[in-house]
């Protein structure tokens, strides 16, 4: 596997290809953190990767440029094609894979909940965290505006036009596709909520299925079945997702991946790296570098 990894300020272009050369199985993964807007922008091209069932702590605004994918989000299925827009709230479990074995090109904006709350206040003058009420908008007209913002971020555009277009975009999405609620009640029982809370607080430690059974009062298979039905994700997938999401914050602080793996409860660095890349699409080290100022 050949890898090209170049830095432009906080912009990274990760090119991977098969042993046959750049024309065979080429992938390009570009990631930018925009300090002015405080958001991440992703541009992936030629992606064949299947993403496992997981969730993020941020909002995701994503559109398909090329390819056909099957998405499952909150236990609902969608077939996606070029021109479709995907809107996901924090902690909404999802998984996706190719529909036809062809590569995927997509662009995404990731917005942390506290940043979204600040943006909403500036736009509406009110303090609340919005909830997207549609996961997929087929053949979306908003993609033109999203692509404009995304391209400005990718090019490290410094004029305040970028901020104007970004605020117009969020205003449009707020009007059309959100509800004024903190979060929708997905009818999680108190027993399962206790299990989630335990994993949220103790993710750094080694947790056994029996530990979760002791908390919930369920037998092992009963817990797995009920947890998966109510949360849309298995207990182990939930735990590893919590660990990956916490690891992102530590990586941003410059903590070395091997130490991050220890602090977030992974058994070793290779285990951590595998889960991180499966969920995020790049390795922990590649993710960390976009937040570093120094040259490499």
Going residue by residue through the chain (296 aa), what tens digit of pLDDT does each one get? 233 334 334 445 555 443 333 344 688 899 999 999 999 999 999 999 999 999 999 999 999 999 999 999 988 999 999 999 999 999 999 999 999 999 999 999 999 999 999 999 999 999 888 999 999 999 999 999 999 999 999 999 888 999 999 999 999 999 999 987 654 445 689 999 999 999 999 999 999 999 999 999 999 999 999 999 999 899 999 999 999 999 999 999 999 999 999 999 998 899 999 999 988 989 999 999 887 754 44
pLDDT at res. 138: 96
Separation CA 233–CA 231 (nearest Å): 5
Residue 35 and residue 136: Cα distance in Å, rounded? 28
- Per the DSSP assignment, residues forming a β-bridge with 111 are 59
Taken as a whole, the chain contains a residue count of 296
Q: Give the pLDDT score at 25.
A: 61
Q: Six-digit token pair at 12?
A: 């990274």
What is the predicted pLDDT for the residue at 294?
41
pLDDT score, position 181: 64
Edge to edge, the sheet with strand 51-54 lists 51-54, 94-98, 69-73, 76-80
Phi-psi region of 171 (alpha: psi -120 to 50; beta: other; left: phi over 0): alpha
Which positions ≥6 away from 198 have C-beta within 8 Å?
207, 211, 212, 215
The rounded distance, in Å, linking the Cα atoms of 27 and 220 is 41
Cα 181 to Cα 185: distance, rounded to the nearest angstrom:
10
87: its two tokens: 């809107």
The DSSP symbol for 233 reads: S
The owner of tokens 């929708």 is 184
How many other β-carbons are positioned within 10 Å of the β-carbon of residue 42?
20
User: Torsion angle of alpha carbons 170, 174, 177, 180, nearest 10°?
Assistant: 140
* Contact between residue 120 and residue 129 where contact means Cβ atoms under 8 Å apart: yes
Q: What is the distance between the alpha carbons of residues 110 and 116, in angstroms, rounded to a whole number?
A: 10
Q: What is the pTM of this model?
A: 0.80
> CB 286: neighbour CB atoms within 10 A?
19
pLDDT given at position 210: 96
3-state secondary structure (DSSP) of residue 198: helix
pLDDT of residue 267: 86
Separation of alpha carbons 296 and 291, rounded Å: 12
Task: Please report the pLDDT score of residue 13 as a whole number.
Answer: 54
Residue 41 and residue 109 in contact, taking contact as beta carbons nearer than 8 Å = yes
């Amino acid at each position: 596997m050949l890898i090209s990894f170049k830095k432009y300020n906080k912009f990274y272009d990760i090119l991977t290809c098969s042993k046959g050369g750049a024309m065979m199985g080429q992938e390009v993964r570009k990631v930018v953190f925009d300090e002015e807007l405080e958001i991440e922008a992703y541009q992936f091209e030629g992606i064949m990767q299947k993403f496992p069932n997981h969730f993020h702590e941020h909002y995701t605004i994503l559109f398909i440029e090329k390819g056909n994918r099957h998405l499952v989000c909150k236990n609902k299925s969608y077939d996606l094609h070029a021109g479709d827009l995907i809107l996901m709230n924090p902690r909404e479990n999802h998984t996706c894979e190719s529909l036809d074995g062809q590569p995927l090109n997509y662009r995404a904006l990731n917005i942390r909940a506290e940043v979204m709350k600040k943006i909403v206040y500036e736009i509406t003058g009110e303090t609340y965290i919005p909830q997207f009420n549609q996961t997929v908008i087929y053949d979306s007209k908003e993609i033109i505006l999203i692509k404009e913002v995304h391209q400005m971020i990718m090019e490290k555009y410094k004029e305040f036009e970028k901020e104007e277009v970004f605020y117009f975009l969020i205003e449009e999405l707020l009007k059309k596709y959100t509800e004024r609620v903190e979060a929708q009640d997905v009818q999680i029982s108190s027993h399962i909520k206790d299990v989630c809370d335990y994993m949220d607080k103790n993710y750094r430690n080694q947790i056994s299925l029996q530990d979760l059974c002791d908390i919930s009062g369920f037998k092992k298979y009963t817990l797995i079945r009920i947890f998966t039905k109510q949360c849309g994700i298995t207990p182990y997938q939930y735990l590893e997702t919590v660990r990956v999401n916490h690891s992102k914050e530590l990586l941003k602080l410059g903590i070395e991946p091997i130490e991050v793996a220890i602090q977030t409860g992974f058994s070793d660095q290779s285990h951590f790296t595998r889960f991180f890349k499966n969920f995020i699409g790049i390795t922990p080290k590649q993710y960390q570098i976009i937040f570093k100022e120094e040259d490499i």
